[in-house]
Amino acid sequence: MKIVDARVIVCSPGRNFVTLKLMTEDGLHGLGDATLNGRELAVASYLSDHVVPLLIGRDARRIEDTWQYLYKGAYWRRGPVTMTAIGAVDTALWDIAGKAMNVPVYRLLGGRSREAVMVYGHANGADLESTLSAVEKFRAAGYHAIRVQCAVPGLEGTYGIGRGDMFYEPATRGAPPQSTWSTERYLTFIPPVFERVRREFGPELHLLHDVHHRLTPIEAGRLGRLLEPYHLFWMEDAVAAELQESFRIVRRHTTTPLAVGEVFNSIYDCTTLIQEQLIDYMRATVVHAGGLTALRKIANFAEVYHVRTGCHGATDLSPVCMAAALHFDLSVHNFGLQEYMRHTPETDAVFPHAYSFEGGLMDPGEAPGLGVDIDEAAAGRHPYERAYLPVARKLDGTVHSW
């Protein structure tokens, strides 16, 4: 089953997406998400200029071999651009494999380990009252798990406070916007927010919080300890993720469960974190961690150390990645929780899909392959527009950590 053609489709139905479409000699096609928020065209070029020429004529059934060929054969291993490109190829090949065998991808991954996938939504507010009503909106929509973010008074544009109601868009078109940051104000403000949310919504709801890599290890330990009475499901990205050893300090000071990994692109980003059991949830996702082939290996490794998965699922991961994540979540034994940010209607129109949400749970559906397609004519009506994530500066003007 030879690959005979490939297209890299860049579109912007409300936000930018890069999609790889592989076609086989017997008329099947497979899709892979290749979106790297704010650096989209680098992956598009990597694919078009360097990877697609290697794919034409290859057997689409050789998924593992193609992964190894692109990873080891490049000499330059890892990195978000490379791994996103490899992830797109790998995802498209799993899609083709499912279609060729007329089964949904989760069946190829070992079948269902659970009946459905629990997801969490994003309740954001510009102040405490609007944050509480956002939590109520998600609870009323059936969510069992809700991430809670609230703008810190006096700080301009706290990251993670979305634009949109049931969805959230982290990037902005044009030049990167700037936001301000003060650790002191944040650490004083956030614990009472969770005290109030727990008081209003009771002990059952799973509550999550994303620190967006903003703290030092000892500050993160302090925040985790202050949040212990409100028993979070997880505290995410408490410190910058490059230095795995820093999680030893955070872990020493708090029993609040820790999640990290949306910026990881390889198993080598998390070997210490997993083997030393420094985290509870691994957030690497299909698109940025090299596809289903690589993410399954990370999850299998993590299972040995009681670490569960919690895949990133922001709006900058396209419906193709969302579908792949749901097939993965349904099948992998040590699944924990899946992030779900709804896409805009324009995005959903470009990417018709079989996955569904009901009562806080999702299912990838029974369509062969991933169960998601791309309407290329609709995509063509939404040309790419450069966009960036914001840059944070401390109150004295110093660029702050992501």
Q: Is 90 in the site for ligand KDG (CB under 6 A)?
A: no
Nearest distance, CB of residue 73 and ligand KDG, angstroms: 28
- Closest C-alpha among 88, 91, 107 to residue 368: 107
Residues that bind Mg ion (CB under 5 A): 210, 262
In 3D space, the residue among 376, 374, 379 whose CA is nearest the CA of residue 30 turns out to be 374
Q: Do 327 and 105 meet the contact criterion of CB atoms below 8 Å apart?
A: yes
CB closer to Mg ion out of 210 and 280:
210
User: Closest residue to ligand KDG, Cβ-based?
Assistant: 314
| Least Cβ distance, residue 124 to Mg ion (angstroms) | 13
The answer to whether the beta carbons of residues 322 and 354 sit under 8 Å apart is no
Query: Residue type for 281, please?
Result: Y
- 316, interface contact from ligand KDG, Mg ion, none, CB < 5-8 Å by kind: ligand KDG
Residue 141 contact partner, candidates ligand KDG, Mg ion, none, CB within 5 to 8 A by sort of partner: none
Residue for token digits 């990167």? 176
Smallest separation, CB 176 to ligand KDG (Å): 12
Question: Choosing among ligand KDG, Mg ion, none, which partner's interface includes residue 74 (Cβ < 5 to 8 Å by kind)?
Answer: none
Q: How far is CA 51 from CA 74, 81, 348, 374, 378, in A?
A: 10, 12, 28, 21, 26
Cross-strand bridge partners of residue 236 = 210, 259
Q: Closest Cα partner for 388 from 216, 207, 175?
A: 175
Residue 90 touches which member of Mg ion, ligand KDG, none, C-beta under 5-8 Å by kind: none
Residues 321, 360, 205, 166: is their CA dihedral positive or negative? positive
Gap between the Cα atoms of 233 and 221, Å rounded: 16
Q: Which is nearer to ligand KDG, 51 or 208 (CB)?
A: 208
- Pick the binder of ligand KDG from 339, 360, 362, 390 (CB under 6 A): 339
**What are the residues facing 338 on neighbouring strands?**
119
CB of 5 to ligand KDG, least distance (A): 30
Q: In whole angstroms, how close is the CB of 35 to ligand KDG at the nearest point?
A: 9
Contact between 314 and ligand KDG per CB under 6 A: yes
Other Cβ atoms within 10 Å of 102 Cβ, number: 9
Tell me which of ligand KDG, Mg ion, none is bound by residue 269, counting a contact when its beta carbon lies within the kind-specific cut-off of 5 to 8 angstroms: none
Please, which residue, 3 or 317, has the CB nearer to Mg ion? Answer: 317
Which residues does the annotation mark as catalytic? 159, 212
Residue 316 vs 329, nearer CB to ligand KDG: 316
Nearest 10 degrees: Cα torsion 150, 152, 158, 160? -20
Backbone angles phi, psi at 150, to 5 degrees: -135, 135
Query: What's the rounded Cα separation, in Å, for the pair 194 and 147?
Result: 11
| Least Cβ distance, residue 302 to Mg ion (angstroms) | 18
Q: Is 125 in the site for ligand KDG (CB under 6 A)?
A: no
210 lies in the site for ligand KDG, by CB under 6 A: yes
Residue nearest to Mg ion as judged by C-beta position? 210
* CB of 282 vs ligand KDG, minimal distance in Å: 13
Among residues 209 and 327, whose Cβ is nearest to ligand KDG?
209
Cα separation, 161 vs 209, in Å, equals 12
Query: 208 by DSSP, 3-state: which?
Result: strand
> Does residue number 316 form part of the binding site for ligand KDG (CB under 6 A)?
yes
> Is residue 371 helix, strand or coil?
coil
Site for ligand KDG in 170-199 (CB under 6 A): 170
CB of 33 or CB of 210, closer to Mg ion: 210
Where along the sequence are the contacts to ligand KDG (CB under 6 A)? 37, 170, 210, 212, 262, 312, 314, 316, 339, 389
